[in-house]
A and B are shown apart, each in its own frame.
Chain A
Amino acid sequence: QVQLVESGGGVVQPGRSLRLSCAASGFTFSSYAMHWVRQAPGKGLEWLAVISYDGSRTHYADSVKGRFTISRDSSKNTLYLQMNSLRPEDTAVYHCARAPRGDSSGYYLGMDLWGQGTTVTVSS
């Protein structure tokens, strides 16, 4: 079954760190660029970061640049998001998403497969 399953969310205090994981199955993970997208409560989607199919290129939204790091381990078919210096405004559901095959950098063709998301709450 082709799917993405996120994990690692939870309640964390401001200033602390958290690492999210996204387990991919049912497709050749190493052939696809991958994204992280979040959705704050009652709000719209916000793109956060993208990593190329081979992990050689990454790019971030200004809102998380310098605090969040996207990475991947193709031997484990897993995508990661390391989140440091968390703020209350980082509270959201975090989705991983796949770029379609043929979009090796991930920027152009959107996201054709999404996970259900994992919830991160930043609060003291």
Chain B
Amino acid sequence: QSALTQPPSASGSPGQSVTISCTGTSSDVGTYNYVSWYQQHPGKAPKYMIYEVSKRPSGVPDRFSGSKSGNTASLTVSGLQAEDEADYYCSSFAGSNNVVFGGGTKLIVL
């Protein structure tokens, strides 16, 4: 159950697009289309942003989108806004009834 790999930080200016990667293995991200993404502001509970790689729950702006290629999933935030500054975590079903999270990425809006 090794954690998924995310870059520690990512940044962009308001209005720009930023992509955060989430790299796993053929035992998790590479095999299953069960990748989710969460946004967490300091001191707050995580918020559900993406599920099944690219689906958005009701209420999540369409500026947030997800994709996957091979063992790497990605979250793209388009039209960056100040309130998008937060920590972002990916998670994946990892087979054998396990769930694994990434280490998290701090998104900085310049």
User: A interface vs B, CB < 8 Å?
Assistant: 35, 37, 44-47, 50, 59, 61-63, 95, 97, 100, 105, 107-117
Contact of A45 among B44, B46, B48 (CB under 8 A): B46
Interface size on B, residues (CB 8 A): 25
Given known pairs A45-B38, A47-B91, A109-B36, the reply for A59 and B98 (CB within 8 Å) is yes
Give Cα A50 to B98, complex, Å. Answer: 9
> Residues of B contacting A112 with CB < 8 Å?
48, 51, 57
B21 nearest CB across to chain A (Å): 15
Given known pairs A107-B93, A110-B36, the reply for A46 and B101 (CB within 8 Å) is yes
> Residues of B contacting A35 with CB < 8 Å?
99
A111 pairs with B36, CB closer than 8 A? yes
A62 nearest CB across to chain B (Å): 6
Given known pairs A62-B1, A95-B45, the reply for A107 and B99 (CB within 8 Å) is yes
**Mostly helix, strand, loop or mixed at chain A's interface?**
loop
Given known pairs A95-B46, A116-B45, the reply for A108 and B98 (CB within 8 Å) is no
**Closest chain A residue to B97, Cβ basis:** A59
Give Cα A116 to B103, complex, Å. Answer: 19
Give Cα A91 to B53, complex, Å. Answer: 31
Contact of B51 among A45, A47, A50, A100 (CB under 8 A): A100
Cβ of B109 within 8 Å of any chain A Cβ, yes or no, is: no
Give Cα A45 to B48, complex, Å. Answer: 13
> Residues of B contacting A105 with CB < 8 Å?
97
A114 pairs with B34, CB closer than 8 A? no
Q: List 6 A-B contacts (CB under 8 A).
A: A59-B98, A105-B97, A107-B93, A109-B51, A109-B52, A111-B48
> Residues of A contacting B46 with CB < 8 Å?
45, 95, 97, 111, 114
Cβ of B10 within 8 Å of any chain A Cβ, yes or no, is: no
